[in-house]
Structure 1
Amino acid sequence: MKVKRIVSIFAVLLLCTCLITPISTDAAARVRVRTVKGVTSSYNGRMSYCYVNGQKRKLTKYPIFKKAGAYMGPVGAILKNSKLKVKATAKGDKLTLTYGPNTVIVREDSRTAVTNGQKSTMGAPVVHGTYTATGKRRWIVPLNSVCTRLGINYKLSNGKIYISGTTQSSSNNTTGGTTTTKPSTTSSKEKIKIVIDAGHGGSDSGASGNGMAEKNLTLAIVLAAKRSFDNDSRFQVSYTRTADTYPSLSQRANLANNRDADMFLCVHINSASASARGTETLWSKGRNSATKKNGLTSKELATAMQKAAVAATGFKNRGLVDRPNLYVLRHTKMPACLIEYGFISNKTEAARMKANKSVYGKALYNAVVNLMKKEGRY
């Protein structure tokens, strides 16, 4: 009887422990890494494999994970020991990667990359640390950023990563040399494709007030953005108009769809009463999932553009507005949003918008760059 009582008490205690102990449902989906400085961090976005030159690379012991919006992967398993055979040399906190004519130097805990002597900023800082689940120390880099700089093709599609390039093996090359792709910053298929729409135009002046027409303000902002995009080889930008013309709404949406754009940005100016004020960005909540592309959603795009526009204008933050019936938001097939910078009907805001068109255009460009860095695509 005494033994039975002890067993019963133990069973009750075990049941209570189970009831009060939280069960982690996503622990297996997270990746824990301890840096050489002894700091342990936990990351989501776990991937246990990727594809390199068509070959599935299993990464069970050292999986890919997401850091600062960028997918991070171990250099050895993905780039060095795969068919790509990227040369990797580590010394102290510095890692040097060589692929054909391209050399990229990165450092642990840094976003800075030096590619063929030129500095640039990657989507996330490099991690040099130990996967705590297996005790394996690895150099872990933002894959898209590093592949782009080495001249290796990187693609994220349907939640899977595909990496491809020329096999670096001199033994298979009768000339004794190697061939390689050029850095993808110069390749159109690897560029970030954007369509930017200056609202209204031609016979459609849009809103008017305080001696100004919306069509002129929107065009000026877009042309200011164009000056920055024209000097950045990472982007392939198409414009619905660059003069006082009127493309139809279907032509604007079709341009974005036909170009298979990564995002669609529409520039507008608001109007209401003389006291109305503030900046807002319109998007379609109902199409957020349908328009998701390369991991980016319309809401994420709208949020980034709204934050940048508010910072540039200094106007009241009116937030995001769900406008599912707007033609260009309903018919585009990629992340899309429409920025309303301020109210042309408000004398103060109208004057400030007239004086700061170039500032808004530059801010739009910077917002896209920062968003693409966060996504690991820049």
Structure 2
Amino acid sequence: MQSQQKHKNIYTSKTTLFRVVFLAMLFISFSAAAQKSYTIVLDAGHGGKDPGNLGNGFKEKNIALKVALLVGKKLEKRPDVKIIYTRKNDVFVDLWKRGDIANHAKADLFVSIHCDSHTSNAYGAGTFVLGLRGNKKNLEIAKRENAVVLLEDNYQDKYKGFDPNSAESVIGLSLLQEENLDKSLTIASLIQHNFAFKLKRNDRKVKQDNFQVLRETIMPSVLVELGFLTNKTEGRYLNSSRGQSQMATAIADAIYKYVENLKLNTVVLSEEDTNDNFIMYKVQIASSKNKIAPKTYNFKGLKNVERVVVGAYFKYYYGNSSSYKNIQKALKEAKLKGYKTAFIVAFKNGEKISVEEALKLPSN
């Protein structure tokens, strides 16, 4: 009896110790998540010798700058967000330099702000992500925004044969530049939702096309078209303090919601037990509308890449393990091969779940 009591006391002490250690780990994990600073790069389109479009006498470069600065001002109030601007005044910045600023800062998100134009009385706000193909109308928008390349010094060398007036150049992309498509679509949808439902702007939807400024970045990126300066009513709205403030608020709120979603994906250990569940981890290295053979030579030497159809996209996974520790090694391998934005995904009995949820289950 005494021996049993002693054993029970030892067990109780160990359990208490475990709980203390667990709570300490949990606190550290939450603290790390809370202290992480998310870097957002705000890119005001055009500038300096490049005025952008001049519909009805309004200057795109000025409106884009004012909105970008307002977005930054609203986000700078958040302690967990760091804002970097590609320009804060009326200067010309090469497209490659805009992307280089974001890449050098290891940004979590890149948002490029523009105003649209058209020969008709078109109106409404739209958000673009990098994509392989678009319809003829989207292609013309991409070509207009990319035309600034021709104003840059030595653009032939910088862009390696990229011709902003060529459909082939506008459409051509590498798989690596689509790795962030899922996250880009997420932030684009949040921005577009705020435009359409909070501000009641005409919804021109989230679309994909090949904007050179997005091609230059290696993180989730979107290009926002605030509206059409060629439409007198919309042009006046976008040129007004009220319109700029409202559009900036819509973008800022969407960005912060996106940051909150990133926080939810932070790995947090849990003591909670559940019944038997089959958990499998994989590393997502890319998402694309292109169907690419999962051969080693197509994926920088990575072996056993898996291609899965998800809606209109093909997702490419590397690694396949029930061990989170092992899949972390696979993630490291993928990043060493150049897939810098690869990330871990989890599946429960064949269905995708969050990594956070998977880590709460036993045997992880």
TM-score (norm 1): 0.50
Out of 229, 241, 253, the residue aligned to residue 344 of structure 1 is 229
1:268 aligns with 2:155: no
CA distance in 1, matches of 2:209, 2:61: 21
Q: 1:262 to 1:84 in 2, by over 3 A?
A: farther
CA distance in 2, matches of 1:372, 1:261: 12
Q: Any idea what the Cα deviations from partners look like across 1:71-108, whole Å, max 9, x if unmatched?
A: xxxxxx9xx938954269xxxxxxxx8x59xxxxxxxx
In 2, are the aligned partners of 1:288 and 1:299 still within 8 Å (CA)?
Answer: no
Out of 46, 67, 75, the residue aligned to residue 200 of structure 1 is 46
| 1:76-115 matched pairs, under 5 angstroms | 81=18, 84-86=21-23, 99=27
Alignment-derived partner of residue 301 in structure 1: 187
1:368 aligns with 2:255: yes
Q: Tell me the secondary structure at the aligned position of residue 371 of structure 1.
A: helix
Q: Any idea what the Cα deviations from partners look like across 1:225-283, whole Å, max 9, x if unmatched?
A: 12112211111111101111111101101011111111110100000124111111111
Residue 374 of structure 1: how far off its partner (Å): 3.0
Q: Tell me the secondary structure at the aligned position of residue 225 of structure 2.
A: strand
CA distance in 1, matches of 2:196, 2:112: 16
Alignment-derived partner of residue 69 in structure 2: 223
1:279 aligns with 2:146: no
In 1, are the aligned partners of 2:131 and 2:178 still within 8 Å (CA)?
Answer: no
Q: 1:232 to 1:274 in 2, by over 3 A?
A: same
Out of 215, 218, 230, the residue aligned to residue 330 of structure 1 is 215
Q: 1:313 to 1:218 in 2, by over 3 A?
A: farther
Residue 314 of structure 1: how far off its partner (Å): 2.5
Moved over 6 A (4+): none
In 1, are the aligned partners of 2:102 and 2:217 still within 8 Å (CA)?
Answer: yes
In 2, are the aligned partners of 1:298 and 1:335 still within 8 Å (CA)?
Answer: yes
Residue 334 of structure 1: how far off its partner (Å): 0.8
1:237 aligns with 2:122: no
Q: 1:83 to 1:249 in 2, by over 3 A?
A: farther
1:318 aligns with 2:204: yes
CA distance in 1, matches of 2:37, 2:19: 25
Provide the identity percentage: 27
Q: What is the number of equivalent residue pairs in this alignment?
A: 207
Q: Tell me the secondary structure at the aligned position of residue 70 of structure 2.
A: helix
What amino acid is aligned across from residue 354 of structure 1 in structure 2?
N
Out of 342, 346, 353, the residue aligned to residue 238 of structure 2 is 353
Q: Tell me the secondary structure at the aligned position of residue 322 of structure 1.
A: strand
In 2, are the aligned partners of 1:291 and 1:298 still within 8 Å (CA)?
Answer: no
Q: Which has the larger radius of gyration?
A: 1
CA distance in 2, matches of 1:311, 1:268: 20
Give the alignment's Cα RMSD to 1 decimal.
2.8
In 1, are the aligned partners of 2:128 and 2:188 still within 8 Å (CA)?
Answer: yes
Q: Any idea what the Cα deviations from partners look like across 1:115-156, whole Å, max 9, x if unmatched?
A: xxxxxxxxxxxxxxxxxxxxxxxxxxxxxxxx34xx2x35xx
CA distance in 1, matches of 2:226, 2:120: 15
What amino acid is aligned across from residue 47 of structure 2 in structure 1?
G
Alignment-derived partner of residue 171 in structure 1: none
Q: 1:288 to 1:336 in 2, by over 3 A?
A: farther
Per mean C-alpha deviation after superposition, the further-off stretch among 272-281 and 283-292 is 283-292
Residue 210 of structure 1: how far off its partner (Å): 2.2
Q: 1:288 to 1:229 in 2, by over 3 A?
A: farther
In 2, are the aligned partners of 1:305 and 1:367 still within 8 Å (CA)?
Answer: yes
CA distance in 1, matches of 2:203, 2:91: 31
In 1, are the aligned partners of 2:130 and 2:178 still within 8 Å (CA)?
Answer: no
TM-score (norm 2): 0.52
Q: 1:273 to 1:81 in 2, by over 3 A?
A: farther
Q: Tell me the secondary structure at the aligned position of residue 228 of structure 1.
A: helix
CA distance in 2, matches of 1:288, 1:83: 46
Q: Tell me the secondary structure at the aligned position of residue 222 of structure 2.
A: strand
In 1, are the aligned partners of 2:53 and 2:115 still within 8 Å (CA)?
Answer: yes
CA distance in 1, matches of 2:231, 2:120: 5
CA distance in 2, matches of 1:273, 1:84: 66
Q: 1:85 to 1:342 in 2, by over 3 A?
A: same
Q: Any idea what the Cα deviations from partners look like across 1:168-193, whole Å, max 9, x if unmatched?
A: xxxxxxxxxxxxxxxx43xxxx2111
CA distance in 2, matches of 1:239, 1:375: 21
CA distance in 2, matches of 1:258, 1:336: 15
CA distance in 1, matches of 2:185, 2:72: 24
Q: Tell me the secondary structure at the aligned position of residue 106 of structure 2.
A: coil
Q: 1:229 to 1:239 in 2, by over 3 A?
A: same
Per mean C-alpha deviation after superposition, the further-off stretch among 301-310 and 348-357 is 301-310
